[in-house]
Amino acid sequence: MAAPRTVLLTGAAGGLGTLMRDLLPAYGYELRLLDLTPVADAPDAIAADLGDLDAVRAAVRGVDAVIHLAGISLEAPFDDILRANITGTYHLYEAARQEGVPRVVFASSNHAIGFTPRPGGGEPLIPAGTPHRPDTFYGLSKCFGEDLAQLYWDKHGLETVSVRIGSCFPEPTSVRMLSIWMSPADCARLFHAALTASGVGHTVVYGSSANTRLPWDLASARALGYDPQDDSEPYAAKLLAEHGELDPDNPEHAHLGGHFCTNPPMWPR
Ligand code: NAI
Ligand code: 15L
């Protein structure tokens, strides 16, 4: 595969999309932007809903790859998740298949495996092959996205790197985030590796910096050429002084997904 140059960034108006709009052009990408809502300072951004297959097909036409960030990024009523994350991601893949786009980088989430017990000291890191254990309808939609990516690889030869992102924000803001934080600069490094590595088929990787408190194994990400440069540890003293260490007997702390596992218990109908 030739190195991608023109890349569709869905969800460009969101938090992560905004960070990536700043960082990815330095790697030589020309970004085409898409979002439901207006993208600040980007009058050429495509305003489209993932629910509109024709619009999504027009948006992917001619790009070399897609970074698919658009969707609902927290727990929500099932019907909303269904429309944006499940049907929407299906439309993205179907559009990419119809238009011959060879690769997608899919923003999956730690919440696809949120009910996985958080490893204690000395226990093995969570491998990329660990079974899906979603903690929410939101996490379930990310399981669907990963399986959809596998189907489109096996059946249509469309490649994907599914990135189970931990928490990508400018700084970690909780003790839980110390373990799964991904600095924006490392996120851009990882997306660049996912766009350019050869022969990825469908590869699942964890998306985080090289944190001292890492719960998962970054081996599959490193195999793509990802070389994280950041660690959340410089933020640890302040956060621990404020909140203390995670209590493994607290159900909120016992699993990787944290409060997504316990709150809300189930979205009210
Ligand atoms: P965000 O909520 O800030 O941005 C999502 C964007 O998607 C919004 O701009 C929204 O308008 C757009 N969108 C929603 N529904 C849409 C639709 N039907 N059609 C077109 N656009 C639509 O979320 P954030 O934090 O930027 O996350 C981006 C992606 O990464 C999401 O898929 C999220 O699930 C995933 N992710 C993010 C993490 C993080 O730490 N920021 C952690 C794990 C996963
Ligand atoms: C996610 O999947 C969310 O999109 C993000 O907003 C954070 O809540 C993150 O997980 C997390 O687990 O911290």
pLDDT digits (tens, 9 = 90+) for 15-66: 999 999 999 999 999 999 999 999 999 999 999 999 999 999 999 999 999 9
* Residue 269: inside a domain: no
Q: What is the pLDDT of residues 241-255, one digit of tens each?
A: 999 999 988 888 999
Q: Is residue 1 part of a domain?
A: no
Residue range 182-201: mean pLDDT, rounded: 98
Quick one: pLDDT at residue 269? Answer: 46
Residue 30 is assigned to a structural domain of this protein:
yes
Q: Of 266 and 138, which is predicted with more confidence?
A: 138
For residue 112, pLDDT over 60 is answered with yes
Q: Which two tokens stand for residue 196?
A: 């350019």
Q: Would 203 be classed as within a structural domain?
A: yes
268 inside domain: no
Atom of ligand 1 nearest to the CA of 168: 40
Give the CATH number of the domain where residue 241 resides. 3.40.50.720
Catalytic residue among 27, 29, 93, 138: 138
Q: Based on the structure, what is the number of domains in the chain?
A: 1
User: What's the confidence (pLDDT) of residue 192?
Assistant: 98
CA of 244 to the centre of ligand 1 (A): 30
Residue 265's pLDDT is 62
Pocket lining: 136 vs ligand 2, CB cutoff 6 Å: no
pLDDT value for 3: 82
pLDDT score recorded for residue 63? 98
- 111 within ligand 2 shell (Cβ under 6 A): yes
Atom of ligand 1 nearest to the CA of 165: 43
Structure confidence at residue 263 as a pLDDT band (50, 70, 90):
confident
Cβ of 165 below 6 Å from ligand 1: yes
- Choose which residue among 72, 81, 136, 167 to substitute to test ligand 2 binding: the one with the highest number of ligand atoms within 8 A of its C-beta: 167
Question: Is 137 part of any domain?
Answer: yes
Distance 2 CA to ligand 2 centre (A): 32
Encode pLDDT of 124-153 as tens digits. Answer: 999 999 999 999 999 999 999 999 999 999
| Residue 213 in domain | yes
- Per-residue pLDDT averaged across 85-100, rounded? 98
3-state SS string for the chain: CCCCCEEEEECCCCHHHHHHHHHHHHHCCEEEEEECCCCCCCCCCEECCCCCHHHHHHHHCCCCEEEECCCCCCCCCHHHHHHHHHHHHHHHHHHHHHHCCCEEEEEEEHHHHCCCECCCCCCCCECCCCCCCCCCHHHHHHHHHHHHHHHHHHHHCCEEEEEEECECCCCCCCHHHHHHECCHHHHHHHHHHHHHCCCCCEEEEEECCCCCCCCECCHHHHHCCCCCCCCCHHHHHHHHHHHCCCCCCCHHHHECCHHHHCCCCCCCC
Choosing from 73, 135, 187 the residue with most ligand 1 atoms within 8 A of its CB, the one to mutate for a pocket test is 73
138: annotated active-site residue: yes
Please check whether residue 146 lies inside any domain of the structure: yes
For residue 2, pLDDT over 90 is answered with no
User: Does the beta carbon of 141 lie inside 6 Å of ligand 2?
Assistant: no
Considering the chain, what is the average pLDDT of its residues? Answer: 96
pLDDT at 252 (0 to 100): 85
Boundaries of domain holding 153: 6-261
Ligand 2 pocket test target in 111, 141, 168 with most atoms within 8 Å of CB? 111
Query: Which range among 7-16, 217-226, 233-242, 250-259 shows the weakest confidence by mean pLDDT?
Result: 250-259
| CB 118 less than 6 A from any atom of ligand 2 | no
